[in-house]
Structure 1
Amino acid sequence: MNVKQRSTTFLKVIIFLIGIAMLVLCIHWLPEIAIKDAKVHPDTAYFLIPFLVCAYGFCITFSVALYQAFKLLTYIEKNNAFSELSLKSLKVIKKCAFTVIFLILLGIVSLKVLAKITGDDPAGPISLSLMGILATSIIAAIVDALQKPLNNVPDIKSKND
């Protein structure tokens, strides 16, 4: 096993473990947190619906991006890094990043509405959300930077025309 295969295998294992964590989050933690919050605050329990929609949308979108990253690593292992399939994976990852940003913004709007009704201070969760938007924007910029050289590869360029 050469160095490139070891490093891509290591990254695949990390992606797989992150995927397992996302599955546990969606199946176990999110419903449990929602039920506990609905019991503690029954008057605003209906506000959990937008948060759960955003949270599950985030998890699904993030899982799709993880799967595409896994596929991209497989293409790299097979020396197909400069292929149309790699370009498609990068495009899907970039779309997922923009979807995650949109869902975080929806969560911020829901949080602001809830804060108006309850009188709570939403500064902490909003600042964490803005950090998430910054991190996702950086990932989208990196993917865009990786996409540009692939668009200039002659084999891919002739197939896209």
Structure 2
Amino acid sequence: MNRGTTLFLKMAVILIAIPVLAVCLFLVPWIGNFAGESYPDIAYMKFLVFVDMYAAAIPFYFALYQAYKLLGYIDKKHAFSDLSVRALTKIKYCAVTISALYLLGMPLYYLMAKRVDPPSFLPMASTIIFASIVIAVFSSVLQRLLQEAIRIKSENDLTI
């Protein structure tokens, strides 16, 4: 893979991070305030929304960092290494963590969806859960393929 392709992918990783940062800065406080105003009798509703959404942002950014490191390994011709396998493993665990956090937050999103017409919070959370599961499965498959390629490469290096 040439350097231009990985440079494009590194820029894509950075461009993915920017809108999510904007969502964390501007949309999450609005959603939390909406939840708090919608259910004033549940005092901790706003706090739970903040915790759920900001806690999911942490593994998201960690996974983006791991993807950036993986692209760096590809640039340095270390794509078939244990470092790449570890990066894919961390990406998989981050995706599972994001899915679990949003799945735990589904009752909150259900309550908020009851106050909005159309109920936009449930499809949003469901989409995030589904996308995270797809990323986890995809990174798991890539991890196994990479481990097999490393095994075959080491066997070939020993036979020569």
Superposed, 1:35-50 pairs within 5 Å as 35=33, 38=36, 42-44=40-42, 46-50=44-48
Corresponding residue of 1:68 = 66
Question: Aligned in 2, Cα 1:31/1:132: closer, same or farther, shift over 3 Å?
Answer: closer
> Are 1:84 and 1:156, in contact at CA under 8 Å, matched by a contact in 2?
no
Distance 1:47 1:74 in 2: 41
- The answer for unaligned runs of 5 or more in structure 2 is 156-160
Question: Matched residues, percent identical?
Answer: 35
Question: Are 2:56 and 1:58 aligned?
Answer: yes
Distance 1:47 1:72 in 2: 38
Question: Aligned in 2, Cα 1:50/1:157: closer, same or farther, shift over 3 Å?
Answer: farther
Corresponding residue of 1:91 = 89
Deviation (angstroms), 1:19: 1.9
Superposed, 1:92-111 pairs within 5 Å as 92-111=90-109
The alignment's TM-score, normalised by the length of structure 2, stands at: 0.79
Query: What's the CA shift string for 1:71-121, capped at 9, x where partnerless?
Result: 000101111111111001000000001001101101102234x36xx9647
Distance 2:19 2:38 in 1: 26
> Are 2:109 and 2:125, in contact at CA under 8 Å, matched by a contact in 1?
no
Distance 1:132 1:49 in 2: 20
The alignment's TM-score, normalised by the length of structure 1, stands at: 0.79
Question: Are 2:7 and 1:5 aligned?
Answer: no
* Matched letter for residue 154 of structure 1: R
How many residues are paired up? 153
Bigger mean CA offset, 76-85 vs 121-130: 121-130
Deviation (angstroms), 1:123: 5.1
Deviation (angstroms), 1:137: 1.4
Question: Aligned in 2, Cα 1:65/1:111: closer, same or farther, shift over 3 Å?
Answer: same
Deviation (angstroms), 1:141: 1.4
Deviation (angstroms), 1:27: 3.3
Corresponding residue of 1:146 = 142
Distance 1:119 1:28 in 2: 22
